[in-house]
Structure 1
Amino acid sequence: MASWQQIEDDNPTFAAKVRSLFDAGTNKTIATLRRDGSPRISGTELKFEAGEITFGSMSGSMKLLDIRRDPRVAIHSPTLEPPADHPEQWPGDAKLAGTAIEMPRPEGDPHEGAGYFRVDVSEVSVTYVGNPADHLVIESWDARHGYRRRTRK
């Protein structure tokens, strides 16, 4: 597991690409695990600040209950459509997975019972259409391999 700061330090160019894709819109999609182990997807917002990825969850939400029971999460950046006539100009999408670590409620925060989390990252990836537009490019980072770049036809 790694903090976002470790990924930024290891590969600043890749980290900037990931962050720009997550910052492309407010709403991200988070996957959590239900009590029976099946997946649940929900909307969320997140922040990249002070070398960490953080997000919150409303009191009593199913997402919050899921995370407190099993903190493994996966989060997908906002989805942007590739340009139909120039798919190679699509910036791509980003995904990350890791463990949500609960943090204390910020001082003065009025949201009693809400959950505040940082993500210890196990893996992060960016996928986009290559140039020429006949292949996908997958850039990724994980604790075992570090940064990698692969293509797929």
Structure 2
Amino acid sequence: MTNNWAVFEKAEPEFTHAVQARFAQYPHHVLATLRKDGSPRVTGLNVGFRGGELWLGMMPGSMKARDLQRDPRFALHTNPGSDENMPDGDVRVCGRAVEILDPPELHRFAEETGEAHAFHLFHADLTEVVRTSVEGDELVVTTWRPGQPLRTLRRGNDDEPAHEA
């Protein structure tokens, strides 16, 4: 079974809304893929949410597209922006990229998004979604994994061990 954005949204609608809102703050985000030799590659990327999917689109022949075709594992991190306090936190999505190769589906996506150039298109099969934020004096890490309950870990100052909320 694919763990697409719709599965995540159905399982945790409030958390999904917060994560998606954080992505909506900036058009460009950071994608990490694996190079042929196994070392990480970090590049910029625009993402979109349509039809219950998190979409990753990239230029034809781009190194990040080639990385994903060879090894679909990825991590996607929201743009940290310019506010050093990051009031809306920080989000990371991990998973496997599933390439869309069906010409009618690619054409439909291009029409819906206004994409006029050739592109590689992937949707995300999610393995983990993490939001890290600061609430008062606590660092709060909220994690969703398919088939597991939402987990929230809170950590105060250095004298206190982390604890689940």
Quickly name the TM-score band, shorter chain normalised. 0.7 to 0.9
Write the letter of the residue equivalent to 2:77: H
Write the letter of the residue equivalent to 2:80: T
Compute the displacement of 1:74 (Å): 0.4
Whole-angstrom CA distance in 2 between matches of 1:32 and 1:146: 27
In structure 2, the residue matched to 1:120 is 125
Structure 2 gaps of 5+ residues are 111-115, 157-165
SS of residue paired to 1:45: strand
Contact 2:8–2:146 at 8 Å: present in 1 too? no
The one of 83, 98, 113 equivalent to 1:101 is 98
Compute the displacement of 1:82 (Å): 4.0
Superposition map of 1:42-121 within 5 A: 42-80=43-81, 81-83=83-85, 90-104=87-101, 105=103, 106-107=106-107, 111-112=117-118, 114-121=119-126
Of Structure 1 and Structure 2, the greater helix share is in 2
Whole-angstrom CA distance in 2 between matches of 1:82 and 1:92: 10
In structure 2, the residue matched to 1:34 is 35
Compute the displacement of 1:111 (Å): 3.5
Contact 1:139–1:148 at 8 Å: present in 2 too? yes
Whole-angstrom CA distance in 2 between matches of 1:146 and 1:48: 23
Whole-angstrom CA distance in 2 between matches of 1:50 and 1:59: 23
Whole-angstrom CA distance in 2 between matches of 1:75 and 1:9: 21
Contact 1:59–1:111 at 8 Å: present in 2 too? no
SS of residue paired to 1:9: helix
Whole-angstrom CA distance in 1 between matches of 2:121 and 2:142: 29
**Number of aligned positions between the proteins:** 145
SS of residue paired to 1:107: helix
In structure 2, the residue matched to 1:145 is 148
In structure 1, the residue matched to 2:159 is none
Structure 1 gaps of 5+ residues are none
Write the letter of the residue equivalent to 2:117: H
Q: What is the CA RMSD across the aligned residues, in angstroms?
A: 1.7
Task: Provide TM-score, normalisation by structure 2.
Answer: 0.82
**C-alpha distance after superposition, 1:64-102 (max 9, x if no partner):** 11111101010001113244xxx7xx1101110000000
Higher relative contact order (CA 8 A, sep 6+): 1
Compute the displacement of 1:4 (Å): 0.6
Contact 1:8–1:15 at 8 Å: present in 2 too? yes
